[in-house]
Amino acid sequence: MRKALFAIISPVLAAALLFSACAKPAEQPVIDVTATEAPAPEETAAICGDGYTVEVKTVYYPEGSDKDTARFMLALQLPVFEKTAMNEAITEYEDELNTRITSEQLPLSERTDSFIPNTKVELSVFRAELPQGEYTNIMFTETVSFLEDGESEHARHLIVMDSDGNEQSLASVSGLYSPEDTVAQQIWNIIADDGNYYSDLTQEDIEEHLDLYNGFSVGDEGYTVYLPAGAVADESMGEQEFSFGKSALYPGFVGDVITADEYTQILPMLNAAAAACGPDFASLLMPEGELGPAYCREYWLRGRDSRTVTKNEFLSAYGFPFSHWMPPEENSPGVEFVGDGTVKLTRVTPFYGFQSEDATLKENGILTVTGVLMSGAPGDAGAAAAASASAMFTRLDGEYYLSSFEIM
């Protein structure tokens, strides 16, 4: 276990750092304590926002030093979530940051009488809701200063988590199994005619600098991708960020055959049908037996490991025309009806998804979407095509309803 000398920073500096992470920093007292040698400092967490607190700490390097002898200092903010599973990724980031400082920054630092080279890490937490589910963005903004009057280096590290606390990639959030080409194309479209960027830049150059695990964030309306300084423009311009709507990662037929809003509506049904039918390579033509409850289960899980919904919500997934085959209100794999009117849902089968490729819309309102049944979730290293598949939707009163899902 690594050791470092920790001290809680003063109340004034702590309040200043907390301002960017908390809505009401002035109301959060920070206790000033004596530096002690320990794997972690005494907590001075302040309640900030929904479901998490913020811990402010300083670390002196090398090990065994204090503010009078340290050659490098780290001042950072870390979120502490009530849902403990979400803290694992935070701990990994802190460990990686400590290793990076020790191996890369400490050897280059030279302390003066008036200045300690340092890294400051500011925290921002913001949430987003997409058709696939709810996500928490955790942004660490790092500022590295080696000289008192010199220029600082800036970088960001982002962690995106689902509601279960699982770390997500852009692939897993968007449902696009290989988003790199599409994202690089979107960025290239934005900068192609802008003289502030390298004139000989290609889409392949952009793709080389993408980090679709810790270099993106999720918003209600779309995504933001961050590229390091020097990747697409002169390093003096610093880190670059590019935002685009979620529909930018939709299949090519969206906008021609159906609208982005219509695709957003059918997407949960496509994913639910693939997840329910994939394990047994079954087709959902008349959802009898366990396929019906499995479809409702996957419709509401939406990639989660577990979830609780009301009985009415659970059954509502069986919209027209499946309502004629309403599943019985009895337990089935991953579905438990509880006496209080709720249904507990649990993932019990390997994940299968659907990669849309084409669509046709007939005059009678019948929409057919063809694509590939994928084993594994978007972003999984082992995800692979399993079979061809197609889904048929019926339009009624301006809404699309799934009428069949067939695996070829």
Question: What pLDDT, in 10s, does the model give residues 262-278?
Answer: 998 999 999 999 999 99
More confident site: 321 or 368: 368
**3-state SS assignment for residue 271:** helix
Q: Are 72 and 116 in contact (CB under 8 A)?
A: yes
pLDDT at 39 over 90: no
Q: Could you read off the pLDDT of 297-317 as tens digits, one per residue?
A: 999 998 788 899 999 999 888
Q: Are 107 and 131 in contact (CB under 8 A)?
A: no
The tokens for 375 are 């084993």
pLDDT-based confidence at 380, cuts 50/70/90? confident
Q: Which CATH number applies to 173-249?
A: 3.90.640.20
Query: Between vectors from CA 393 to CA 365 and to CA 350, what angle results, nearest 5°?
Result: 165
Residue 292: per-residue pLDDT: 86
Spell out the domain ranges in the chain.
4-168, 173-249, 260-407
Residue 321: per-residue pLDDT: 66
pLDDT at 30 over 70: no
- How big is the chain, counted in residues? 408
Instruction: State the residue for tokens 């069949």.
Output: 404
The tokens for 189 are 């479209």
Among residues 376, 394, 406, 405, which one has the least CA distance to residue 175? 376
Residue 290: per-residue pLDDT: 81
Q: Are 218 and 179 in contact (CB under 8 A)?
A: no
Among residues 368, 360, 374, which one has the least CA distance to residue 390? 368
**3-state SS assignment for residue 368:** strand
More confident site: 200 or 319: 200
According to DSSP H, which parts of 215-282 are helical?
A: 260-277
Residue 49: per-residue pLDDT: 58
Instruction: State the residue for tokens 């502030």.
Output: 196
Residue 48: per-residue pLDDT: 56
Residue 396: per-residue pLDDT: 87
Which element (helix H / strand E) includes 301? Answer: helix 291-301
